[in-house]
Amino acid sequence: MKHQDLTSKMTLEEKAAILSGKTVWQTMEIPRLQIPAIFCSDGPHGLRRQAGEGDHLGLNASLPATCFPTAATIANSWNTELGEKLGSALGEEAAAQKVDVLLGPGLNIKRSPLCGRNFEYFSEDPYLAGKMAASYVRGIQSQGVYACPKHFAVNSQELRRMAMDSVLDERTLREIYLTGFEIAIKEGKAKAIMSSYNEVNGTYANENPHLLLDILRKEWGFEGIVVTDWGASNDHAKGVACRSNLEMPAPGLDSARELLEAVESKKLSMDELDQCVDDLLEAILELSVQKRGAEFDQKKHHEIAREAAEESIVLLKNEKQVLPLKAGTKVALIGDFAFEPRYQGAGSSMVNPTRLETMENEIMHYDLQLAGKCRGYRRTGENDTALEQEALHVASQSDVILYCFGLDELSESEGLDRAHMKIPQNQIDLLEKLFQCGKPVIGILSAGSATEMTWEKNLTAIVHGYLGGQASASAMLNVLTGRVNPSGHLNETYPLDYEDTPAYHYFPSEERTAQYREGIYVGYRYYDTAKKPVRYPFGYGLSYTTFAFSDLKEEENGISVKVTNTGDTDGAAVVQMYVSLPKARVFRPEKELKGFTKVFLKVGESRTVSIAFDDKTFRYWNNKTGGWEIEEGEYLVAVGENCEAIHETMTVHRAGSTVEIPDVYQKEMLPSYYNADIQNVTDSEFAKLLGHEIPSGKWSGSLNKNDAICQLYYAKSPIARLIYRILTSMKNKSEAKGKPDLNILFIYNMPFRGIAKMTAGAVSRDMVDGMVTAVNGHFFRGLGQIIKGYFVNAKANKAYEKKLEQTGAEK
């Protein structure tokens, strides 16, 4: 241990107390030993440091900060240098606002397009996600601030996220859901990581020894701190035993007493407690000597936000080269998003921007004639004939129609998964009427994740800005007018229909269990292998110029390829390297992304770029031997502009390390996985893949502390069912307004145990037990437990506080 001299001076009560937060955002300080508190803040794409009393979901205002594009947007840049630059700006703002740990970036895999938080995650591909996350981490930590990648791990849905078990096989866990985190830890050197709400194969992530000890600490060599997601602690003692160092937000001293009881009963050893305290002290002492409070350059950071948005915009369609717009083009600006932009998602990541651009205002600074501007539709989805007629009139006065549309706030939010992949129908109805005007319609799309695009035939061009942050309007206009040549490429696949997605039958979950039956076939890995047509493939993106690839060669430890700008505009190419093993014995996807680089080329310029092989290029996880291995064979290395547009291929031989193929990995035993026919995997086949029986996720007849409050609808207590109806009504009313009440959603999906972890010590574990007793039909007995628990908890809290004060006075 690094700080044994300090831990030896701490009392047992101080050790137990310091491992939980004091407030929503601050850790506990120990004044007598001059151990200060450190401050955490949300910040995947911009800082959300609240000025007054903190709350997890952002009801109280936060200090102004630069709202950069979301992770899903920046991943479209395929530029790790840009990620590092953005991360450095985030770290600089964190330091300026006296924040020590920035809670981000978000690193979960986009298993399904319907996850409500996909806007906060990089990609469906773990390699791209990991490389981009590592770049953010390097940038943030260059400013003396800890980055905290989240949510570790297999956190792919918002529905009942605190009361849900992710069930998957070890190979899928390793190859898909952990690889991004591995890259962020090993290459980014992240000094903190956030554990997720859910269970992973029956054990909560924050107390999962396989995740936190076997993999994170031992295999990856992580020496930083593990921070729980806010309210994610289930059994605090088990978490500490797994070196989870900081339980947040502010569970109160009942959590500290839980550790004291665990030490006394030998459930938790003193060595385990001391190790956890030592890890946290290392972070506190390192962070407390960093300079904090300096001003940051708001103008410069706004320009970085614009640069990031520009490089991440994806040109999906450009018929007749309608773009870029010629100087003096007479345009109609139509769409509610032109006036009130969708530039970030909703939830704990919501930023109070230092400045916010709109298309309505920014278009005045460009050499375009504005025929008119109007909202055209209601973003909340209601039909409005008057707005439609105004839009059609404005369109009739123009030569080109700029139509700003996309997903509204209700579609993409923490705490709420999407119900479908569609754009609100009233926006599409207006689009179809604009198309009938017979003029080019340029669709300017705003959304944080994939949508169905049956309407694309009504658009001459489609420019996808994702959620581009506070400078997204000028970034978009720079692309539309040709000041910037678009170079973004999709970080995810756009399927033809939601029914085509690999997890269609398995997402989000059946009662408490989310079964990852699709296995390793996530995103393009499925579409490619199953030969399923898509709207836009993974890695897709157009440019105002063209590129040629040639002279693919194998180097000592990688490949090189010549890229030439063959068009008439300077621009940047994204070179993507995919690897496959055509005659593999172990089933695997058709191809997998294993390297990429972005190169800017002037007209006619050629450049030879190199992409290195690394430890992830040829590996697969062998469930039988419990390790990473290479299967011997002739690997196909393919280079292109997206996973379907492959321009150059070559084969490279690799000697194998595999001696034992897993017994179950035979075509006759796992036909669905060898054929990538994984939308209807049977129970018996999934059980074979898991290597054990499928755990039941059925809710029992009685609720327990780990069941979610939304399950009160079948509680035995009529009062509990009434509470459920009231809460559901409040939830539905907030959603009907178009902007969900995030605190209601949080409560709706929270398990009973979370009440004890999210109320700053006002509610104890014993009181939660009383609540569970009450909702299970024993109302008065439960009420008695709650009342008794209240007084016992209050008395115990005072006694603990007094002991801490006396210790301080004595020393």
Give the active site residues.
229
C-alpha 432/C-alpha 299 separation (Å) is 40
User: Which one-letter amino acid corresponds to residue 696?
Assistant: S
Integer Cα distance of 170 and 423 in angstroms: 36
Q: Are 699 and 512 in contact (CB under 8 A)?
A: yes
Q: How far apart are CA 224 and CA 281, in angstroms?
A: 10
Reported as type and span, the H/E element at residue 130 is helix 126-141
CA distance 146 to 287: 8
Q: Residues with Cβ < 8 Å from 798, sequence gap 6 or more? A: none
Nearest residue to 46 via CA among 351, 311, 272, 304? 351
Q: What is the DSSP letter of 398?
A: -
Listed residue (612, 632, 599) closest to 555, CA to CA: 612
Tokens 């496959």 identify what position?
580
CA dihedral over 464, 183, 157, 170, signed as positive or negative? positive
Count how many Cα atoms sit within 13 Å of the Cα of residue 640 in the half-sphere of its side chain: 22
As a whole number of angstroms, the distance between CA 242 and CA 336 comes to 49
Task: Report yes or no: 39 and 99 within 8 Å, Cβ to Cβ.
Answer: yes
Determine the residue type at 248.
Answer: M
DSSP-derived pairing of the beta strands 146-147 and 101-103: parallel
Residue 721: partners with Cβ closer than 8 Å, 6 or more residues away: 712, 713, 714, 715
Check residue 761 and give left, alpha or beta (phi > 0: left; psi -120 to 50: alpha): left
- Report the C-alpha gap between 657 and 689 in whole angstroms: 22
Coil, strand or helix at 249: coil
Sign of the alpha-carbon dihedral angle for 207, 213, 217, 219: negative
Neighbours of 255 (CB within 10 A): 25
Return all residues near 358 (Cβ < 8 A) that are at least 6 apart: 338, 339, 340, 341, 473
8 Å CB contact between 313 and 468: yes
At 454, list the tokens. Answer: 């049956």
Exposure string for 299-336, b = 16+ CB within 10 A, e = fewer:
eebbebbbbbbbbbbbbbbbeeebbbbeeebebbbbbb
* Both tokens assigned to 265: 């009963």
Structure tokens at 224: 């930083």
DSSP 558-596: EEEEEEEE-SSS-EEEEEEEEEE-TT-SS---S-EEEEE
> Pick from 20, 319, 375, 345: which is nearest to 158 by CA?
345
Give counts: helices (H), strands (E), the chain: 24, 26
Q: Report the chain's terminal Cα–Cα distance, integer Å.
A: 24
- Nearest-CA neighbor of 629 among 246, 175, 310, 105? 175
